[in-house]
Amino acid sequence: MENILEVKDLHISFDTFGGEVKAVRGVSFDLKKGETLAIVGESGSGKSVTTRALARLIPSPPGRIKEGEILFDGKDLAKLKENDMQKIRGKDISTIFQDPMTSLNPTMKIGNQIMEGLIKHQKMSKSQAKKRAVELLELVGLPNPTERIDQYPHQFSGGQRQRVVIAIALACNPKILIADEPTTALDVTIQAQILELMKDIQKKTDSSIIFITHDLGVVANVADRVAVMYAGKIVEIGTVDEIFYNPKHPYTWGLLGSMPTLDNTGDDLIAIPGSPPDMLKPPKGDAFAPRNEYALEIDKEMEPPMFKVSDTHYAATWLLHEYAPDVQPPAPVLRRMKGFSNTGADSNSKEGEQR
Amino acid sequence: MARYILQRLGYMLITMFLIATFSFFLMKLLPGSPLKAEEKLSEAQLEILYEKYDLNDPVPIQYINYLGNLVQGDLGVSFQLNNQPVTDILANRIPVSAHLGIQAMILGTIIGMILGLVAAIKNNSWIDYTANVVSVIGISIPSFIFAGLLQYYVGVQLGILPIAFWDSFKHTIMPTISLAIFPLAIAARFLRTEMIEVLGSDYIVTARAKGVSNSGIMFKHGLRNALIPLVTVMGPMAVSLMTGTLVIEQIFSIPGIGEQFVTSVTTDDFPIIMGTTLFYAFFFILIILIIDILYGIIDPRIRLAGGKD
């Protein structure tokens, strides 16, 4: 399938009083047409920064794209002028944000908030845009769209607001939809609805989705491929099956081990010890080594390159080197990997447990 | 909405009644008498005057009489100013003060808002720092200093503007500028702070993600959300500017209400004190009502009862 977006060796830094915070340190991936790529990782791993950079939504200063390319539609978005970028934002690349309670303008009717993009990008008249806005609200499953279009955000519940946010993002049929933890701020039953809605819409519009989350239950439910990020880098990337059934990176093991499952195996949840490194001074060698019980001597000296596991599966860990000792994931993770065979079906209820 | 405004007008009447009552009795507690200043009067003459102005009646009777007249729109006559009716004095002096106040308010608010907006957009640039210094100066230095400086440099040295009195538009320029500096500083300060906060909020990122232009972000999404705190502080300030500012009126010899009010307090001119106080109160409550209605227009979340919820 054709690549719609290619990110090559992206570096993003923030200039702070304390110095340069290297939030993203060489991220490369591509996104195919119609697929859903999940980016997972704990807070501060750089997943939000990476995706915000794709739409150039990082405030600058203090943030800046230090190097790397974001190739979309024959253009390098990393170097595009702000004015040209405004023509792409909302039209080709849309974003759904995390907290629907704060991501809508409280003093603007939701209809106008949806119509804004249509009028700007599709050159629609006000009445055309209003008609389209009603259609969009229908598409995202909001009852009585003709009345509700003239209401303000505070007259909507959290789940309804997220539907409105999704309608805004979908307004111009974007080629890429970036969903930055779109269900994290919602309660569990609403989460499931929103996920269903997004899957549904993707089927109808054939857009590509980048789905950021730290919730592996959600990943199993929505993603085709998964990228695991740690300390500003992608440490493992593969199809959803490869990541869940054959994870190679110890950090991925840790994430899987810390995810509760319904088929209770009697294992305790495994917590990954320690906390992520300070990105003001990224450590030498593998950034995950200090928290990794399987770390090798070389991890302290040299960063591991991406090792190829299969055509679609890569992981950055020295454990994949031919000279490395044969290390198996910890037993609870292994048992869990077996249990994932029925994850896809009931992952929504798992999310519930996780909260 | 209409019901809400009617209800508020009802409360206004009650408030006015309470204010009239309190200020009447407080005023009666003032030491001295409106007639003592005229020392050449004999006991008998004083007695005649007391009788004429009903000052010999017990205070509760005076109070009831006053309220009775008040309801009919009669504020009494001044003890000092040749028995002029208080309503005439107010009618002569209030327009002058209001003219000056409105002019200063408009000038200060507009320039202050522009300054605050630019400072917020160019956050941490030299423009921002300049705006900051201007606001601090405007807030901390009293208006009469500016008045004096303007009079000396613009009025005396350059001689391009009249130093005092209230005749033509030219006469209003210097007092207006002196008065405008405080609201200017406050508007700049509040709008900058609020705008920076608003521009950092999630819905601004949403708007940017939609491809909205920078000016759209500022004016369509930013400004409206930043206006509430500004309206809150500017309302009462408008009242105090429009109801006469004693010092500025004195410095520029402007025949406004502020100057008259202070004179009447020092001479125990009861009817004028009462009349002016009631006018202030009425005006203040009116502005508060307007602010509350404005809130609803600016921010739908505080739209008042009777909205189409």
pLDDT tens-digit readout, A232-253 = 899 999 999 998 888 888 888 8
Query: Of A182, A207, A223, which residue is a domain's last?
Result: A223
Residue A76 CB contacts under 8 Å (≥ 6 apart), including other chains: A69, A70
Q: Residues, chain B, total? A: 309
Distances from the Cα of B153 to the Cαs of B149, B160, B209, B237, B240, in angstroms?
6, 10, 52, 28, 27
As beta bridge partners, residue B6 has none
CA-based nearest distance B56→chain A, Å: 60
**Residue B184, Cα to own-chain centre: how many angstroms?**
15
Supply A120's token pair.
Answer: 């700007």
Residue B120 CB contacts under 8 Å (≥ 6 apart), including other chains: B128, B191, B192, B195, B196, B199
What is the span of the domain harbouring residue A325?
A: 227-342
With contacts defined as CB-CB under 8 Å, which chain B residues touch A48? none
pLDDT score for B38: 59
CA-based nearest distance A100→chain B, Å: 9
**Chain A CA closest to residue B223:** A107
A73 is a domain residue: yes
With contacts defined as CB-CB under 8 Å, which chain A residues touch B210? 89-90, 94, 116-117, 120, 168, 171
Secondary structure E strands in A287-342: 307-308, 314-315
Supply B208's token pair.
Answer: 């940017």
Q: Are A192 and A323 found together in one domain?
A: no
Supply B182's token pair.
Answer: 């405080």
Q: What is the DSSP string of B110-137?
A: HHHHHHHHHHHHTTTSHHHHHHHHHHHH
Other Cβ atoms closer than 10 A to B219: 11
**Chain A CA closest to residue B221:** A105
CA-based nearest distance B297→chain A, Å: 9
Q: Are A188 and A232 found together in one domain?
A: no
pLDDT score for B305: 47
Q: What is the mean pLDDT of each run of 10 residues along chain B (309 residues)?
A: 82 91 88 69 80 82 89 84 85 90 94 93 88 92 91 90 87 92 93 92 91 89 89 86 82 87 84 89 87 84 55
Q: Are A107 and A146 found together in one domain?
A: yes
As beta bridge partners, residue A225 has A37, A239
Cα B158 to Cα A323: distance, rounded to the nearest angstrom = 90
- CB of B228 within 8 Å of a chain A CB? The answer is no
pLDDT score for B36: 65
> Average pLDDT of A154-169?
90
Residue A65 near residue A11, CB atoms below 8 Å: yes
Q: What amino acid occupies position A255? A: L
Q: Are A179 and A297 found together in one domain?
A: no
**Chain A CA closest to residue B210:** A90
pLDDT score for A340: 63
Q: Are A217 and A242 found together in one domain?
A: no
Instruction: Judge if the upstream peptide bond of residue A61 is cis by omega within 30 degrees of 0.
Output: yes
pLDDT score for A339: 65
Q: Give the orientation angle of helix A126-139 with respect to helix A158-170, to 10 degrees.
A: 130
pLDDT score for A346: 44
* Contact assignment for A103 to B225 by CB distance below 8 Å: no
- Percentage of chain A beyond pLDDT 70 is 93
- CB of B210 within 8 Å of a chain A CB? The answer is yes
Considering only residues A341 and B8, tell me which one the structure prediction assigns the higher pLDDT: B8
Considering only residues A194 and A93, tell me which one the structure prediction assigns the higher pLDDT: A93
- The mean pLDDT of chain A is 85
CATH number reported for the structural domain that contains residue A110 in this entry: 3.40.50.300
Residue in the structure block whose two tokens are 């600058």: A60
Residue A104 near residue A113, CB atoms below 8 Å: yes
- Phi/psi at A72 (5° precision): -140, 125
- Phi/psi at A208 (5° precision): -95, 145
The CA radius of gyration of chain B, in Å to the nearest whole number, is: 24
pLDDT tens-digit readout, A130-152 = 999 999 898 888 889 999 999 99
Tell me which DSSP letter residue A68 carries.
E
Using CB atoms, which residue from A89, A94, A107 is nearest to B225? A107
Using CB atoms, which residue from B208, B213, B300 is nearest to A57? B208
Domain count, chain A: 2
Q: Are A188 and A240 found together in one domain?
A: no
Residue A83 near residue A268, CB atoms below 8 Å: no
Using CB atoms, which residue from A82, A99, A117 is nearest to B210? A117
Whether pLDDT at A347 is above 50: no
With contacts defined as CB-CB under 8 Å, which chain B residues touch A90? 209-212
pLDDT score for A353: 39
Q: Are A210 and A272 found together in one domain?
A: no
pLDDT score for A75: 87
* Contact assignment for B208 to A89 by CB distance below 8 Å: yes
pLDDT tens-digit readout, B28-67 = 887 777 776 556 777 888 788 888 777 888 888 889 988 9
pLDDT score for B300: 82
In chain B, the domains with their CATH numbers are: 35-74 (no CATH), 92-267 (1.10.3720.10)
Query: Of A195, A223, A251, which residue is a domain's last?
Result: A223
Whether pLDDT at A337 is above 80: no
pLDDT score for B303: 67
Other Cβ atoms closer than 10 A to A115: 24
Whether pLDDT at A102 is above 80: yes
* Contact assignment for B205 to A105 by CB distance below 8 Å: no
> Average pLDDT of A1-21?
88
Considering only residues A297 and A120, tell me which one the structure prediction assigns the higher pLDDT: A120
> Average pLDDT of A173-186?
86
> Average pLDDT of A33-48?
89
Query: Of A223, A244, A264, which residue is a domain's last?
Result: A223
